[in-house]
């Protein structure tokens, strides 16, 4: 307890978390605005679920055997009589499906298309570009089994990535079968693993028996040649799953979306079935997955839904997405910097600033000497500066300077907003 009160201890952000500061937050907002614009175009609407959920939601919805549930969740006991076990959400699909069931969204017309943007929490090993509070942009389309929905979701993902300015990414897809054909594949995998598992890592040895599909997820380098030789799920699909997968590929071909079928793409979560997909990006090194998604037709039932509610969704790792577009120069956050000369001019400038702010411009008013003001305008990266002195006020004409070109223009008070708008668009 003493340490809590020590005034000399410098308090820092919790390990694995970070503060997002300007100008980086400009990039975050740009990414989120682009995503929201595209979600709207595809008729997705926002859902905001609580960050706290009962632990059993994730145990059931994500899978008891997953790394997320066994190693990475922030779980604690609440101070209520029942000592409820609560968890900071490690992902959002289970929460969205819980909300879907709880509020009977299946009663609403059409496929439910929901998106979310927000923080998730996983206690992962600390490494570059991995945060324990990280952000996801994701969406779920619930209420259809149609492969056309899969293709539309994948198309939307591609549009979002392009919309935020990401290029050079690669789309990987796969089908992981369903309750009809996957068990046979898993059994085949289990048989194959019997002879090779003893040479694999500890996790693989355990999973070879408990959950053989997870072996395909293993990232241990030495295990890769062994995994390469294991049978492919795409060779074991039943007719219904094969037809579904062929349709998804055909719809992607129609749209000119290029993809690669990656039979090892099984994803780490229990509830995925049929279509799975992932987007990787070269600039991020080994940890290069920008997003993952897939179909989860049995999830709602496993969370207690009486209604069959097939769905498909994805989540984009926003931290990584921002990292991969952050190299681009963010737009200046300041449109106009006004330098008033003296007290009367300051009062006049303040009213002008209010009017331009109402017109949607970002405006700052200087204090102090003109030379210092101009230096500050430069440092702040203002796009325009405006000098307001007694002479300017009397004449009704002001010197507006474009900071990028150095060009100076005499304008009236009413012309300023229009000149700026024309340059900024
Ligand atoms: Zn392994
Ligand atoms: Zn099947």
CA of 11 to the centre of ligand 1 (A): 39
In the predicted structure, residue 315 carries a pLDDT above the cut 80? yes
The residues, any chain, with a CB within 8 Å of residue 248's CB and separated by 6 or more, are 147, 150, 151, 154, 173, 175, 275
What mean pLDDT is predicted for residues 363-391? Answer: 92
Grade residue 286 by pLDDT with cuts at 50, 70 and 90. Answer: low
- The pLDDT of residue 211 is 83
CA of 62 to the centre of ligand 1 (A): 20
- The pLDDT of residue 153 is 98
CA angle 241, 247, 248 (to 5 degrees): 90
Q: How many CB atoms lie within 10 A of CB 75?
A: 15
What mean pLDDT is predicted for residues 115-126? Answer: 94
CA of 183 to the centre of ligand 2 (A): 9
Please provide residue 193's backbone torsions phi and psi, each rounded to the nearest 5 degrees: -75, -20
What mean pLDDT is predicted for residues 305-332? Answer: 87
127 touches 170 (CB < 8 A) = no
- The pLDDT of residue 330 is 64
What mean pLDDT is predicted for residues 184-202? Answer: 93
In the predicted structure, residue 121 carries a pLDDT above the cut 90? yes
pTM: 0.88
CA of 143 to the centre of ligand 2 (A): 19
Ligand nearest to the CA of 201: 1
CA of 89 to the centre of ligand 2 (A): 31
What mean pLDDT is predicted for residues 164-168? Answer: 89
What mean pLDDT is predicted for residues 201-214? Answer: 88
What mean pLDDT is predicted for residues 94-123? Answer: 97
Token pair, residue 233, equals 């799920």
CA of 66 to the centre of ligand 1 (A): 14
Ligand nearest to the CA of 176: 2
Ligand nearest to the CA of 242: 2
37-58 per-position pLDDT tens digit: 999 999 999 999 999 999 999 9
Ligand nearest to the CA of 233: 2
CA of 202 to the centre of ligand 1 (A): 7
Grade residue 420 by pLDDT with cuts at 50, 70 and 90. Answer: confident
Q: What is the mean pLDDT of the chain?
A: 91
Ligand 2 (ion): which residues have CB within 5 A?
A: 177-178, 180-181, 238, 241
What mean pLDDT is predicted for residues 53-80? Answer: 90
Residue listed under structure tokens 């994803």 = 267
- The pLDDT of residue 67 is 81
The residues, any chain, with a CB within 8 Å of residue 295's CB and separated by 6 or more, are 150, 272, 273, 274, 275, 276, 310, 311, 312
CA of 425 to the centre of ligand 2 (A): 51
Of 190, 183, 184, 173, nearest to 266 by C-alpha is 173
228-265 per-position pLDDT tens digit: 999 999 999 999 999 999 999 999 999 999 999 998 88
Ligand nearest to the CA of 184: 2
CA of 243 to the centre of ligand 2 (A): 9
- The pLDDT of residue 419 is 84
Grade residue 123 by pLDDT with cuts at 50, 70 and 90. Answer: very high
CA of 270 to the centre of ligand 1 (A): 18
In the predicted structure, residue 65 carries a pLDDT above the cut 80? no
Ligand nearest to the CA of 240: 2
7-16 per-position pLDDT tens digit: 778 999 999 9
- The pLDDT of residue 125 is 85
Ligand nearest to the CA of 182: 2
CA of 123 to the centre of ligand 2 (A): 35
92 touches 53 (CB < 8 A) = no
Ligand nearest to the CA of 245: 2
416 touches 359 (CB < 8 A) = no
CA of 196 to the centre of ligand 1 (A): 11
- The pLDDT of residue 84 is 95
96 touches 140 (CB < 8 A) = yes
- The pLDDT of residue 425 is 60
393-412 per-position pLDDT tens digit: 999 999 999 998 999 999 99
CA of 371 to the centre of ligand 2 (A): 73
CA of 276 to the centre of ligand 1 (A): 21
Ligand nearest to the CA of 230: 1
- The pLDDT of residue 283 is 60
């Amino acid at each position: 307890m003493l340490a809590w009160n020590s005034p000399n201890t410098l308090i820092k952000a919790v390990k694995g978390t970070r503060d997002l500061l300007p100008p980086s937050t400009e990039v975050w907002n740009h990414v989120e605005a682009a995503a929201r614009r595209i979600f709207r175009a595809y008729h997705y609407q926002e859902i905001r679920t609580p960050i706290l959920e009962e632990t059993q939601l994730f145990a059931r919805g994500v899978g008891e055997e997953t790394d997320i549930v066994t190693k990475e969740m922030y779980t604690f006991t609440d101070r209520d009589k029942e000592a409820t076990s609560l968890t900071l959400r490690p992902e959002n699909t289970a929460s969205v499906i819980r909300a879907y069931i709880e509020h009977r969204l299946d009663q609403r017309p059409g496929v439910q298309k929901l998106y979310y943007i927000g923080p998730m929490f996983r206690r992962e090993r600390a490494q570059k570009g991995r945060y324990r509070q990280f952000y996801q942009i994701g969406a779920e389309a619930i209420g259809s089994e149609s492969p056309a929905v899969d293709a539309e979701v994948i198309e939307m993902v591609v549009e979002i990535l392009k919309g935020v300015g990401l290029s050079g990414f690669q789309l990987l897809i796969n089908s992981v079968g369903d309750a009809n054909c996957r068990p046979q594949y898993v059994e085949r995998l289990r048989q194959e693993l019997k002879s090779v598992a003893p040479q694999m890592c500890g996790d693989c040895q355990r999973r070879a028996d408990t959950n053989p599909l997870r072996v395909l997820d293993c990232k241990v380098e030495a295990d890769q040649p062994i995994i390469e030789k294991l049978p492919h799920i795409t060779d074991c699909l039943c007719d219904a799953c094969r037809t579904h997968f062929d349709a998804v590929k055909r719809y992607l071909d129609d749209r000119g979306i290029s993809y690669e079928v990656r039979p090892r793409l099984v994803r780490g979560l229990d509830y995925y079935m049929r279509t799975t997909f992932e987007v990787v990006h070269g600039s991020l090194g080994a940890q290069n997955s920008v997003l993952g998604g897939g179909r989860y037709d049995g999830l709602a039932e496993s969370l207690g839904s009486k209604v069959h509610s097939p769905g498909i969704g994805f989540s984009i790792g926003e931290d990584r997405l921002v990292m991969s577009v952050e190299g681009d120069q963010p737009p200046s956050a300041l449109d106009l910097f006004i330098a008033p000369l003296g007290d009367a001019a300051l009062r006049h400038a303040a009213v002008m600033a209010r009017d331009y702010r109402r017109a949607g411009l970002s405006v700052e008013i200087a204090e102090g000497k003109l030379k210092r003001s101009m230096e500050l305008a430069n440092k702040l990266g203002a796009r325009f500066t405006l000098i307001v002195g007694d002479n300017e006020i009397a004449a009704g004409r002001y010197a507006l300077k474009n900071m990028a070109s150095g060009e100076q223009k005499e304008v009236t008070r009413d012309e300023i907003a229009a000149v700026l708008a024309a340059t900024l668009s």
